């Protein structure tokens, strides 16, 4: 894929930088990291040195100031070869760093953002609890007497994050959710588990316990729901970019395989059924990319992008889940084997329909925005 029309020279240069890094540094060890459940810390450090962990952070706070469109392009290119690394970066850039950028005080931004933007630490957000996934109103983790008490699960980057945004019920806001910042090291913050997953084996997913953990408030009391939902708009764009990258990687595999694999005395690329699959895969990938870029550009312009981000995630995640399966179908039995990355792409794709809001939630967001009170 060459230059993408409509992008600035800087955005295309950022994408090409990420592409080279993905091909040269990430791809060679991706399969081994997946098998060994190995968090790619060295690669994360390299991304920090390249300035890509602060790509959408203002230059005044130590970032590149390139905007969220550039961040989404980086996430797509990384996901094209290793979705585990892509989601690590996506969470750091979006739901990890953005709450502080959007809702933090000037002092908090000046103190906390530069180290994150320069790769000296990762960011994470702790939302989900065992009884509260999509229903944030059901959280039980509580802020009382100036400390956090409770448990969070499935925190991406949770074992390694230096800065964690926590959404908890606030005793000082009549029990309404508020947002808080926890900085490691923190007494009472304990890693209680790293659950096994179907895919994304090289990304870190952690269960955390907060036993009287000191924290600082982010935003106003009772603003936790607004903060969480506000940054999810950007997070969904990141997941849409991740899903698009997975589908693009699967398409690249299928094309190469179709050209080289022979059956009935000729490359299978001559078969009409194979040609039809490749054509559908390519069209879906381009459509998914267009949707996430539209949402990212609206975010960069400061325009509303809730519906557009939901549409991008809904469509791109469906494309990733289906078209990674189609790549395996093109490759036949070889695609099912673990010595080729097609099956890893297939396992990694499913979660894009679940986290940062399930596909069912995205449909609700879109429908209620379009139908208004008639849908409620």
Residue 324 is assigned to a structural domain of this protein: yes
Compute φ and ψ for 303, nearest 5 degrees: -90, 155
Beta bridge partners of 263: 266
Residue 265 is assigned to a structural domain of this protein: yes
Last residue of a domain, one of 188, 222, 256: 222
Compute φ and ψ for 109, nearest 5 degrees: -65, -45
Q: What is the C-alpha to C-alpha distance for residues 71 and 94, in angstroms, rounded to an integer?
A: 9
351 plus 261 within the same structural domain? yes
pLDDT average, residue stretch 81-87 = 98
pLDDT average, residue stretch 171-193 = 96
Last residue of a domain, one of 117, 138, 158: 117
255 plus 163 within the same structural domain? no
Residue 3 is assigned to a structural domain of this protein: no
Amino acid 376: pLDDT: 76
This prediction has a pTM of 0.95
Last residue of a domain, one of 117, 144, 162: 117
**Catalytic option among 286, 356, 360, 373:** 356
Average pLDDT, the chain: 96
Give burial (CB, 10 Å; 0-12/13-18/19+) of 21.
Answer: buried
**Does residue 4 register a pLDDT over 90?**
no
Backbone conformation region of residue 135, classed left if phi is above 0, alpha if psi is from -120 to 50, else beta = beta
pLDDT average, residue stretch 93-114 = 97
**Does residue 147 register a pLDDT over 70?**
yes
53 plus 37 within the same structural domain? yes
Domain of 234? Answer: 225-375
Q: How much of the chain exceeds pLDDT 90, in percent? A: 93
Amino acid 206: pLDDT: 98
**Residue-wise pLDDT tens digits, 318-331:** 999 999 999 999 99
Q: What is the C-alpha to C-alpha distance for residues 57 and 64, in angstroms, rounded to an integer?
A: 6
pLDDT average, residue stretch 323-342 = 97
136 plus 42 within the same structural domain? no
* CB 287 within 8 Å of CB 319: yes
Residue 367 is assigned to a structural domain of this protein: yes
Amino acid 131: pLDDT: 86
**Does residue 3 register a pLDDT over 80?**
no
The CATH code of the domain that includes 370 is 1.20.140.10
Residue 4 is assigned to a structural domain of this protein: no
CB atoms closer than 10 angstroms to residue 138: 10
Q: Which helix (H) or strand (E) holds 261?
A: none
350 plus 248 within the same structural domain? yes
* CB 305 within 8 Å of CB 298: yes
**Residue-wise pLDDT tens digits, 206-251:** 999 999 999 999 999 999 999 999 899 999 999 999 999 999 999 9
Residue 1 is assigned to a structural domain of this protein: no
The DSSP string of 169-230 is EEGGGTT-EEEEEEESS-TTEEEEE----SS-TTS-EEEEEEEEEE-EEESSTT-HHHHHHH
The CATH code of the domain that includes 88 is 1.10.540.10
133 plus 182 within the same structural domain? yes
* Residue ranges of E strands in 232-312: 262-263, 266-267
Question: What total number of domains does the chain contain?
Answer: 3
Amino acid 151: pLDDT: 97
Q: What is the C-alpha to C-alpha distance for residues 201 and 110, in angstroms, rounded to an integer?
A: 34
Going by pLDDT thresholds of 50, 70 and 90, the confidence category of residue 2 is: low
Of 136-140, 156-160, 283-287, which range is least confident? 136-140
The question of whether 260 is a catalytic residue gets the answer no
Amino acid 243: pLDDT: 98
291 plus 195 within the same structural domain? no
Residue 148 is assigned to a structural domain of this protein: yes
**Residue-wise pLDDT tens digits, 291-306:** 999 999 999 999 999 9
Amino acid 1: pLDDT: 62
352 plus 244 within the same structural domain? yes
Q: How much of the chain exceeds pLDDT 70, in percent? A: 99
């Amino acid at each position: 894929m060459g230059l993408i029309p409509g992008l600035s020279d800087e955005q295309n240069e950022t994408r090409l930088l990420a592409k080279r890094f993905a091909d040269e540094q990430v791809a060679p060890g991706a399969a081994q990291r997946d098998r060994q459940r190995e968090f790619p810390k060295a690669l994360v450090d390299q991304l920090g040195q390249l300035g890509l962990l602060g790509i959408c952070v203002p230059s005044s706070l130590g970032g590149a100031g390139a905007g969220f469109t550039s961040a989404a392009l980086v996430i797509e290119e990384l996901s094209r070869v290793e979705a585990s690394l892509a989601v690590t970066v996506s969470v750091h850039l979006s739901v990890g760093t953005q709450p502080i950028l959007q809702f933090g005080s000037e002092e908090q931004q000046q103190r906390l953002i530069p180290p994150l933007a320069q790769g000296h630490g990762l960011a994470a957000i702790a939302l989900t609890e065992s009884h509260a996934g999509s229903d944030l109103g059901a959280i039980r983790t509580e802020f009382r007497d100036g400390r956090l008490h409770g448990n969070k699960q499935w925190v991406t980057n949770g074992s390694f994050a230096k800065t964690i945004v926590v959404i908890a019920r606030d005793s000082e806001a009549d029990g309404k959710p508020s947002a808080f910042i926890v900085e490691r090291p923190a007494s009472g913050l304990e890693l209680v588990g790293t659950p096994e997953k179907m895919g994304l084996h090289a990304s870190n997913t952690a269960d955390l316990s907060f036993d009287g953990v000191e924290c600082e408030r982010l935003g106003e009391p009772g603003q936790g729901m607004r903060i969480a939902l506000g940054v999810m708009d950007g997070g969904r764009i990141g997941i849409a970019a991740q899903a698009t990258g997975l589908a693009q990687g699967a398409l690249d595999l299928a094309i190469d395989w179709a050209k080289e694999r022979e059956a009935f005395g000729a490359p299978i690329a001559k078969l009409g059924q194979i040609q039809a699959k490749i054509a559908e895969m390519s069209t879906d990938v381009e459509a998914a990319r267009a949707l996430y870029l539209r949402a990212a550009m609206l975010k960069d312009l400061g325009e509303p992008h809730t519906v557009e981000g939901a549409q991008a995630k809904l469509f791109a995640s469906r494309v990733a889940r289906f078209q990674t399966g189609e790549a395996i179908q093109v490759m036949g039995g070889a695609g099912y084997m673990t010595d080729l990355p097609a099956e890893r792409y297939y396992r990694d794709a499913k979660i894009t329909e679940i986290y940062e809001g399930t596909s069912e939630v995205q449909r609700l967001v879109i429908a209620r925005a379009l139908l208004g009170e008639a849908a409620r």
